[in-house]
Amino acid sequence: MPIQAIVSRTSAFLLPAILLVLIPGKLNAQADPVASKKADVSVFGTYSRVTPDYGPEINNGYTFGANYTRYMHWFVNPSLEFRAKIANGPNVGQKTFGGGIRAERQFKNFHPYANFLISAGIFTFEHPSIDVTGKLYKSDDSIVYSTGIGLDYDITSQWAARADYQFEHWSLGTNQTFTPRVLSFGVVYRIPFRSYRRY
């Protein structure tokens, strides 16, 4: 599938997700004003171990990205998440660039979350072969759907440790499907917005 089509379909998913998070939530009235955090932006970087579902090897790589979270007094806090993953190995390399939605619930210092992402993916072969058309088959691309869970643990008000697990679904051509799994460990840095007065 052409990379332009992948980017177009990814964008078609992200636009409604962006609108969902950016539309303000309804605030409940209270007799006394209370300081309340409105939103924050966080950035993260992790070391990632990828089971590429192609050969027995484990790929080493890294994942980085950002989240925009709105605090709308729901049971969970919705976020927009953008992330990129780069993981190379002796047999294949995998790169994904995309984003999606995330829902987080805070319990004191613990922030468990779940996400759903759609990305543009590039699959590269370290030992290319000749395909049926006689061309060297060095790489392919795919829309990548991934679901995941994770946990952030607050170390300070702005820094947190992160553990993250993602399950991906790749479709190359008509009959090649791969389901890589990604386990990541790293850190999160939160850039808080100013609190506002809620009535």
List the chain domain ranges.
Answer: 3-19+37-198
Dist CA 48 CA 62 (whole Å)? 5
Identify the CA nearest to 44 among candidates 65, 28, 24. 65
pLDDT less than 70: residues of the chain:
1-36, 174, 193-199
Dist CA 68 CA 189 (whole Å)? 12
Give the count of beta carbons closer than 10 Å to the beta carbon of residue 120. Answer: 23
Estimate to the nearest angstrom the gap between the alpha carbon of 152 and the chain centroid: 14
Dist CA 21 CA 17 (whole Å)? 6
Q: Of 2.40.50.140, 2.40.160.20, 3.10.580.10, 2.102.10.10, which CATH number belongs to 3-19+37-198?
A: 2.40.160.20
pLDDT value of residue 131: 74
What would the pLDDT profile of 134-162 be if each residue is shown by its tens digit? 788 888 999 999 999 999 999 998 999 99
pLDDT value of residue 121: 96
pLDDT value of residue 129: 80
pLDDT value of residue 108: 92
pLDDT value of residue 195: 56
pLDDT value of residue 174: 63
Identify the CA nearest to 80 among candidates 51, 48, 117, 111. 117
